[in-house]
Amino acid sequence: MFYRETGQFKTNYADDMAVFPILQDRLGIALILAVAFVLIPLTGSNFLLSSVMIPFLVFSLASIGLNILTGYTGLISLGTGAFMGVGAYACYKLTTLFPEVNIVVWIVASGFFSSLVGVLFGLPSLRIKGFYLAVATLAAQFFLQWCFTRIPWLYNYNTSGAIEVGQRTLFGIDVTGPKASLEARYMVLLTLVTVLTWVASNLMHGRIGRSFMAVRDMDIAAELMGIDLLKTKLLAFAVSSFYAGVAGAAMMFLWYGGGEANDAFNINQSFLILFMVIIGGLGSMIGSFFGAAFISMLPTMLKFGLPALGIPLAGATAEHLTYILVGALIIFFLIVEPHGLARLWQIGKQKLRMWPFPY
């Protein structure tokens, strides 16, 4: 009734090709941004910020990255965790070498280092396809993880072998380190995610995104149409690892506040992000957010939700049940909607357009 594009006439091409062609969509986005930027930091509890919103934002950045590679370009990667690690270590090295430069600059810049590494490990994608490539990217995962623990230069010869996050400020407010408030960290992260999502969305709607999708649909045909496979595939790896790298740096500096790489950037992390992309919807920006929200909040929901429903759980049993439930839910969602939550969202919107009339 209220979600309908009737009467919204498009009088030029730019309007017609807009990312959000319907007024209600634009209002919705504005509302979401307003809530995220104003309402949540002002009224949200520490729990909401630290265990729901910040993980969600970090993971959505990472899954946008992987979605560009897997969803838009059709190259499966199981090395996302390691690329995130590259970002985190690059950021750590940069900020210890040049402490006077703003940390936010370094978080973004570390993405470029991750890009470089990503391009390097993306080279086999020219010869290898499908699951062979997926397994080949595992080489990146294990090799980089090995580097993180065996090359002391990366963690500045710490005795702990972990990343230590120092005190850094932005406009005079602490944003990293132990004294930084949750709100400050959240705001920095949210700004990063918003800007980078905007960039990614525009990239994917433009020439680059189209060439990615052509390669995904059939790379030989794309090549015949004049798309340079070498450049396109490597660019996809570069963009994807850039996002992963920024996500990794943000994870270490704005969420964890330091820690060891082998816990944070291991193979399970890579799989988890692949889950997010697939559950959310391959080749869909909003799907990345849905997937990240679903997977990152699921353990928390189960941990606090089940006891609230009157199912008492001991520590170990709860963990096992969580595994069983996560597994079952993954299968359930794949069966119900193999195209992911993004497709459900589309169906919902379509229903809403028709409502309350059936046709």
Distance of CA 331 to the CA centre of its chain: 22
Strands (E), the chain: 168-170, 173-176
Q: Please give the Cα distance from 281 to 291 (Å, whole number).
A: 7
Count the alpha carbons within 13 Å of 27 in the hemisphere toward its beta carbon.
7
Q: How far is the CB of 132 from other proteins (least distance, A)?
A: 5
Q: How far is the CB of 241 from other proteins (least distance, A)?
A: 18
Give, as one character, the DSSP assignment of residue 265: S
Three-state SS at 174:
strand
List beta partners, residue 326: none
As a whole number of angstroms, the distance between CA 129 and CA 132 comes to: 6
Closer to other proteins at the Cβ: 106 or 333?
Answer: 333
Cα distances (angstroms) measured from residue 232 to each of 119, 122, 197? 11, 11, 20
Name which of 218 and 352 has its Cβ closer to other proteins.
Answer: 218
Both structure tokens of 208:
């680059």
Report the chain's C-alpha Rg in angstroms: 21
Q: Which is nearer to other proteins, 21 or 152 (CB)?
A: 152
Which CB sits closer to other proteins, 25 or 260? Answer: 260
Q: Which is nearer to other proteins, 111 or 281 (CB)?
A: 281
CB of 157 to other proteins, least distance (A): 14
Closest CB to other proteins among 168 and 216? 216
Smallest gap from residue 306 Cβ to other proteins (A): 14
CA geometry: angle at 324 spanning 83 and 342, to 5°?
Answer: 55
Q: By CB under 8 A, name the binding residues for other proteins.
A: 70, 76, 124, 127-132, 135-136, 138-139, 142-143, 145-146, 149-150, 218, 220-221, 224, 267, 271, 274-275, 278, 282, 316-317, 319-331, 334-335, 338
Quote the least distance from Cβ 54 to other proteins, whole Å: 24
Contact 64, 200 (CB under 8 A): yes
Smallest gap, in angstroms, from Cβ of residue 33 to other proteins?
31
